[in-house]
Amino acid sequence: MVLHSHQLTYAGIAFALCLHHLISAIEVPLDSNIQSELPQPPTITKQSVKDYIVDPRDNIFIECEAKGNPVPTFSWTRNGKFFNVAKDPKVSMRRRSGTLVIDFHGGGRPDDYEGEYQCFARNDYGTALSSKIHLQVSRSPLWPKEKVDVIEVDEGAPLSLQCNPPPGLPPPVIFWMSSSMEPIHQDKRVSQGQNGDLYFSNVMLQDAQTDYSCNARFHFTHTIQQKNPYTLKVKTTRGVTETTPSFMYPYGTSSSQMVLRGVDLLLECIASGVPAPDIMWYKKGGELPAGKTKLENFNKALRISNVSEEDSGEYFCLASNKMGSIRHTISVRVKAAPYWLDEPQNLILAPGEDGRLVCRANGNPKPSIQWLVNGEPIEGSPPNPSREVAGDTIVFRDTQIGSSAVYQCNASNEHGYLLANAFVSVLDVPPRILAPRNQLIKVIQYNRTRLDCPFFGSPIPTLRWFKNGQGNMLDGGNYKAHENGSLEMSMARKEDQGIYTCVATNILGKVEAQVRLEVKDPTRIVRGPEDQVVKRGSMPRLHCRVKHDPTLKLTVTWLKDDAPLYIGNRMKKEDDGLTIYGVAEKDQGDYTCVASTELDKDSAKAYLTVLAIPANRLRDLPKERPDRPRDLELSDLAERSVKLTWIPGDDNNSPITDYIVQFEEDRFQPGTWHNHSRYPGNVNSALLSLSPYVNYQFRVIAVNDVGSSLPSMPSERYQTSGARPEINPTGVQGAGTQKNNMEITWTPLNATQAYGPNLRYIVRWRRRDPRGSWYNETVKAPRHVVWNTPIYVPYEIKVQAENDFGRAPEPETYIGYSGEDYPKAAPTDVRIRVLNSTAIALTWTRVHLDTIQGQLKEYRAYFWRDSSLLKNLWVSKKRQYVSFPGDRNRGIVSRLFPYSNYKLEMVVTNGRGDGPRSEVKEFPTPEGVPSSPRYLRIRQPNLESINLEWDHPEHPNGVLTGYNLRYQAFNGSKTGRTLVENFSPNQTRFTVQRTDPISRYRFFLRARTQVGDGEVIVEESPALLNEATPTPASTWLPPPTTELTPAATIATTTTTATPTTETPPTEIPTTAIPTTTTTTTTTAASTVASTTTTAERAAAATTKQELATNGSSIWDIRAWANSNWANITWSHNYSAGTDFVVKYITSNKTEKSIPVKAQTPSSVQLANLTPGMVYKLWVFPIWSSPSEHSYITFTTSSAYTKNHVDIATQGWFIGLMCAIALLVLILLIVCFIKRSRGGKYPVRDNKDEHLNPEDKNVEDGSFDYRSLESDEDNKPLPNSQTSLDGTIKQQESDDSLVDYGEGGEGQFNEDGSFIGQYTVKKDKEETEGNESSEATSPVNAIYSLA
């Protein structure tokens, strides 16, 4: 095996000699093979917490894990006695672990297993102990039943309501609410004490408006228990007497409090008085502890975090109001449970060596130190002459084999205890050389080099170096021997080459290894290239003469502009230079000669200038992507490199600019190709750098200005040998996923970085403390979770890569953090200032950083709309929140609803989540302007008036004071003057009298409050359409399958570049077309052009057209149809001069297309259409094709007489009407005679209603223009005769002429003959408002003539 001079160490082999407390000790190498061979006493690696509270609903797991060699066995004690796990069927122990599992799925009581547990881990070399684990089952007892009497108290008197919650495990969280589950508002007058009682500094009359109930929330069971509520009766007096403060808690003028070191101290003072007193805190003889204090509960409580001995002393609280002040002194004594000063560490000794274990702890009172060996008091253990116990230290002298044991140090006082395990292991290991045997080191003359010889043994061996097997030990002069076994030479000379022997010796034997050193001559370029200026077409020569060590393989390569040079047909590479034949302008540039061996290299550079000669212009030939390269070949195979050559493909009239070399490996990602490197287009070979332990396969892609070629066929495979990793993982992070863990993650090494089989990672971590000990774990996945960590503390983390060939270099140290817990405190003193009707300003007191228990992310304000200030207005109470990132104490909440009652509460948030919520604040928002009315409907019952109807705004945002309507007439681009109408808040209808029957109207409607006008809704009246002068109608789209019968022949579709979703209005304005003006409604109705338009919206009607690749589109396609022609219009945003094609297809599949020249506006007239035919129509640019679904449909009207005249002036019509009148008169006479004779007329007795002679619709022969409505809306009410719009409905008759019809509509044929029935029954497809609802029976005819 050949190692270069710059390789200094071997991966995975490390050891150290360290001095610990001036006593020599052995550190075992991390090599897994050595560690697996050495004996090791047990070490506890994981255990449950000392005070372990469990949920009674779950199984119980008591953890205990340990390591050692041999593998330890486990046993347990319970309450100081041996616990026989095998005898209890509910208890089991995990395999290769001491963790106890108590399973209650088959029944049993968790309370039966409460007690004190301790784990013992044993092997041949000792016994390790866990801490004593006190197991308790969580309890949530019920509140004792008690009768709570009504409490009577004078106004202004102090009061305390006692809670006395049931004792729980852990203790419950106490809070006060009313019986309706509303939280009790607390302030400096009313607040809850730490004991759970509710204190009133003075009682006020409003305190009797609610009852008071104490609630206890239990953690494990997630249950809340409520005490019977207190009812408070306040007796009023003529005036409340102001009083000086007095303390409600604690009592008297002084008290004392004891607290343990490291916990939080909470001092509390609650005082009564009128007015409510203010509380101030002081420390006698000094200031309050800086950076550790926090005032809580409206200054009634003082919290001191992480108490230390310096915090002892006298604190006093001062309660004051304008009547006086009073103070209470609290004497604070700080005690301490034991804590470590020096925790005992594991000790590894060789036979005959000395050592010591030190166990030093402090506390208040001073803890006592007890030593145990293998779990038994050291006083009762067998005597050991080499061991001496001196208080907190055990000294070992002249240790011998068999003295290995595990020692326990127990430091305890009345406040707690500490237990630590430390083993003493006595090893006798003969010397071992950890490096490979018979190494060969090559080095260039006069370079620095180092020979490595790592070793291990117990006792620690001595290492000596010899040259050529004779002479004295090498150390001094040109040689320097290091303690780790390396021999360093500052300058290697020819006389230094030879065989070097390292010898490791201890009392158990010796071992040696040989390293052969060869010193080589350096590589030098004795004549390099020189700068040259040549003419195009000449033959320059660049020199490169090299001198090198003949035993080393020389490689000479050329670079052009610092990139590998492609040696083509015009170039010739020789041993001492490079010749270029027919030099061209593209050959100009820097040329570098690089001479290299496996140990060193040398280079020389020169610049070649080519004088340009004007060249003929290239012919304008079509350019395409290049053809793929071919014939890939691998040569110059080496451990870390290979030469790849290829034959370029045709460049297809665009010179090749680049080659991309890709590789694929078959171990980690077989079949996936990765980019390896990129080379200029003038080369056809490349020396590729390779990574160890990769089975390579290559391919090449050529690139020119047009694009990339297809990949070449793959090359043959080339397998590189393995090596230890050279880099460690990146992106190392440590973050908690739970409050008691830290998840360590990193970016794993890829296939070209693994360098060998069985890639794994050594994860090390410790708390960010120089005295902390490192923990480690070897994993394969890029993730490791550390459990039982404190909350949000920094850790130092290292992740080192390792494979079967060794380890990567020592990794960098990263900083991570353990898991966060929810914040413990809520923002206080939340204040709200209303800015306007939709925004408020917030301020609050920030929480103390010690209570965040993580990284502060933001403050959040949760708010919800509780009610509207308008009565009977439903509001959504959905909770929303606004974030205020960072450590800040103010912010703005906007986008609120005006004229509403809101509630708000604040929390602080870290990476874990929200902390406790602050007290709920309530605030109202002032009035604002309303939203737009929900809708504005427009109806045109005739040519002289327009009916408007609207609904109230969805969000009034205040008390409505009225509506404002602005409207104006318009005809095309001409507009009339604006008219204004104001209405009361309850008015939702208005009729506009038309002054111009031709113009349309545009309406602007707003609601208003006292603040001002709200949002506007804009609508336009529908267009009036006749066949002589078509006028555009409303562009509202009806839903698919909606038919307008009979109506304006308008169909609209929209094609846009951006997909939209459109909700059609609930009513679709339509217009009917009166063709004549007559004196009867019947005539007018029967002469309406029966034109049906089915406005279909195809699936693609609102999507971008496929042909509009530049974003242009066509929309608003409309069709006005008569019986045999149709006018087509559309809008578009194509460029000016674009010609279009109008294509239409009949229902019998006859297809026609009409080209349309560019014009403004875009329109065309279709002639020679078939009456009564359904057409599909497309509009598209002439250079494209239509989309299959972007069409509209329209229907031509049935054939009719072209020369329309006033039917009322025709003789045949007058004669027919006279005949009908005479027939009806005869029938009436017959009926009268029968009634006179007592006969019963078969028609029911109710007489038909006569038309109201004042009905305006009858007088002018106009129609009711209404939107489509459902059949259900058209059904009359029972026993009704007249519809809401005044249209007369004929009552049904048991025996009348109504039943003699044949089902068709009453109308006239073209020849003037009267066909159909005497009355028109209501048909299922009849659309209300499109024609007169009068029946054409003879009776109605008489009414019409009357």
- Give per-residue pLDDT as tens, 1237-1294: 654 444 334 434 343 434 433 333 333 333 333 343 433 334 433 333 333 333 433 3
As a whole number of angstroms, the distance between CA 935 and CA 1336 comes to 37
Give pTM, 2 decimals. Answer: 0.42
Task: Provide the pLDDT for residue 165.
Answer: 87
Q: What is the mean pLDDT of residues 846-875?
A: 92
Most confident of 86-90, 630-634, 922-926, 1024-1028: 922-926
Task: Provide the pLDDT for residue 427.
Answer: 86
- For the cut 50, the answer to whether the pLDDT of residue 678 exceeds it is yes
End-to-end C-alpha distance for the chain, whole angstroms: 127
Task: Look up residue 566 and give its two tokens.
Answer: 């492609």
Q: What is the mean pLDDT of residues 122-143?
A: 89
What 3-state DSSP class applies to 297? coil
Task: Provide the pLDDT for residue 1297.
Answer: 30
Q: What is the mean pLDDT of residues 471-482?
A: 80
- For the cut 50, the answer to whether the pLDDT of residue 1047 exceeds it is no
- Which residue(s) pair with 100 in the sheet? 62, 93
Provide the percentage of residues in the chain whose pLDDT is more than 90. 47
Task: Provide the pLDDT for residue 1238.
Answer: 52
Among 219-228, 539-548, 592-601, 1018-1027, which stretch is predicted with the lowest mean pLDDT? 1018-1027
Q: What is the mean pLDDT of residues 497-525?
A: 91
Among 620-624, 865-869, 1139-1143, 1144-1148, which stretch is predicted with the lowest mean pLDDT? 620-624
- For the cut 50, the answer to whether the pLDDT of residue 602 exceeds it is yes
Task: Provide the pLDDT for residue 1208.
Answer: 59
As a whole number of angstroms, the distance between CA 526 and CA 263 comes to 78
Q: What is the mean pLDDT of residues 967-980?
A: 89
Residue 1030: pLDDT band (50, 70, 90) is very low
- For the cut 70, the answer to whether the pLDDT of residue 1039 exceeds it is no
- For the cut 90, the answer to whether the pLDDT of residue 1043 exceeds it is no
What 3-state DSSP class applies to 707? coil
- Give per-residue pLDDT as tens, 530-574: 999 888 777 788 999 999 999 999 999 999 999 999 887 778 888
Number of Cβ within a 10 Å radius of residue 1037: 20
Among 457-471, 498-512, 1171-1185, 1192-1206, which stretch is predicted with the lowest mean pLDDT? 1192-1206
Provide the percentage of residues in the chain whose pLDDT is more than 70. 81
More confident residue, 10 or 683: 683
Q: What is the mean pLDDT of residues 1013-1035?
A: 63
Is the CA virtual torsion 1128, 1133, 1137, 1138 positive or negative? negative
Contact between 702 and 648 (Cβ < 8 Å): yes
Q: What is the mean pLDDT of residues 115-135?
A: 93
More confident residue, 238 or 614: 238
H/E element, 1259? helix 1256-1260
Q: What is the mean pLDDT of residues 483-512?
A: 89
- For the cut 80, the answer to whether the pLDDT of residue 637 exceeds it is yes
Task: Provide the pLDDT for residue 176.
Answer: 93
More confident residue, 390 or 12: 390
Task: Look up residue 210 and give its two tokens.
Answer: 């609610």
As a whole number of angstroms, the distance between CA 1247 and CA 1239 comes to 17
Task: Provide the pLDDT for residue 620.
Answer: 59
- For the cut 80, the answer to whether the pLDDT of residue 442 exceeds it is yes
- For the cut 50, the answer to whether the pLDDT of residue 1066 exceeds it is no
Strand 509-520 and strand 439-444: the pairing is: parallel
- Which residue(s) pair with 1314 in the sheet? 1308
Contact between 227 and 213 (Cβ < 8 Å): yes
Task: Provide the pLDDT for residue 1307.
Answer: 39
Number of Cβ within a 10 Å radius of residue 1229: 10
AA identity, residue 115: G
- Give per-residue pLDDT as tens, 915-932: 999 999 999 999 999 999
Strand 532-535 and strand 601-611: the pairing is: parallel
- Give per-residue pLDDT as tens, 1298-1314: 333 333 433 334 333 33
More confident residue, 1016 or 1136: 1016
Average pLDDT over the chain, rounded to an integer: 80
**What's CA 93's distance to the chain center, in Å?**
41
- Give per-residue pLDDT as tens, 725-761: 999 999 999 999 999 999 999 999 988 888 888 999 9
Q: What is the mean pLDDT of residues 1069-1096?
A: 31
Q: What are phi and psi of 489, to 5 degrees?
A: -115, 120
Residue 1105: pLDDT band (50, 70, 90) is very low
Which is nearest to 21 in space by CA: 397, 354, 340? 354
More confident residue, 78 or 180: 78
More confident residue, 1193 or 1027: 1193
Task: Provide the pLDDT for residue 471.
Answer: 63
H/E element, 1231? helix 1211-1236
Cα 897 to Cα 331, 861, 871, 924: the distances in Å are: 53, 16, 15, 10
What 3-state DSSP class applies to 493? coil
